[in-house]
Amino acid sequence: MKVAIIGAGYSGLTIAKELEENGQEVTIFEKNDYVGGMVDTVEICGTRLEKYYRHIFKSDREAIKLIKEMGLENELIWPATKMGYLTNKRAYLFGTPISLLKYKPLNLIQKLRFGFNVIHIKLINDYKKLEKVTAEKWLKDRIGDKVYSQVWEPLLISKFGEKKDQISMAWLWGKIKLRSTSSTPEGEQLGYIKGSYQRLTDRLYEYLVEKGVEIKLKTKIQSIEKLNEKYVIKYQNENEEKFDIVISTINYKDFVKIFDKFITEEEKKKLERVNYTSARTMMIVSDKSFSPFYWLNIGDNDIPFGGIIEHTNFIDKSNYDNNHILYISNYMTEDNKLYNASKEELLKEYMKFLTKINKEFTMENIKDYHVYDEKYAQPIIECNYSNYIMEDKLKNENIYLCTMPQIYPEDRGMNYAIRLGNKIANEVLEQIDKREKKNEN
Ligand X SMILES: Cc1cc2nc3c(=O)[nH]c(=O)nc-3n(C[C@H](O)[C@H](O)[C@H](O)COP(=O)(O)OP(=O)(O)OC[C@H]3O[C@@H](n4cnc5c(N)ncnc54)[C@H](O)[C@@H]3O)c2cc1C
What residues line the site for ligand X (CB under 6 A)?
6-12, 29-32, 37-39, 52-56, 220-221, 249-250, 254, 279, 281, 374, 377, 403-404, 412-415, 417
> Measured from the CB atom, is 143 or 414 closer to ligand X?
414
In the complex with ligand X, the residue whose CB is nearer, 247 or 354, is 247
Chain centre distance of CA 224 = 28
Q: With respect to ligand X, which residue has the nearer C-beta, 280 or 324?
A: 280
Nearest CA-CA partner of 121 in 180, 190, 56: 180
| 101 dihedral zone (left: phi>0; alpha: psi -120 to 50; beta) | alpha
Give the nearer residue to ligand X in terms of CB position, either 31 or 58.
Answer: 31
Least Cβ distance, residue 249 to ligand X (angstroms): 5
CB of 46 to ligand X, least distance (A): 23
Quote the CA–CA distance of 19 and 16 in Å, as a whole number. 5
- How many Cβ atoms are within 10 Å of 387's Cβ, its own excluded? 9
Q: Which of residues 136 and 154 has its CB atom nearest to ligand X in the complex?
A: 154
Cβ–Cβ < 8 Å for 9, 417: yes
What whole-number distance in Å separates Cα of residue 45 and Cα of residue 39? 19
Cβ pair 151, 114 in contact under 8 A: yes
Cβ 71 to ligand X, closest distance in Å? Answer: 20
One-letter amino acid for residue 110 of the chain: Q
CA distance 138 to 119: 15
**In whole angstroms, how close is the CB of 250 to ligand X at the nearest point?**
4
Contact 378, 276 (CB under 8 A): yes
Return the number of the residue (59 or 355) whose C-beta is nearest ligand X: 59
Residue (49 or 56) nearer to ligand X, CB: 56
> Burial of 340 by CB count in 10 Å (0-12 exposed, 13-18 middle, 19+ buried)?
exposed
Min separation Cβ 141 and ligand X, Å: 31
Q: How far is the CB of 107 from ligand X (least distance, A)?
A: 34
Considering just the CA atoms, what is the radius of gyration of the chain in Å? 23
The CB-side HSE value for 216 (13 A sphere, CA atoms) comes to 17
Instruction: Give exposure, 224-246, as e/b (b: 16+ Cβ within 10 Å).
Output: beeeeeebebeeeeeeebebbbb
Q: How far is the CB of 17 from ligand X (least distance, A)?
A: 13
Beta carbon of residue 188, minimum distance to ligand X (angstroms, whole number): 12
Q: Judge contact between 219 and 6, C-beta under 8 A.
A: no
Return the number of the residue (12 or 95) whose C-beta is nearest ligand X: 12
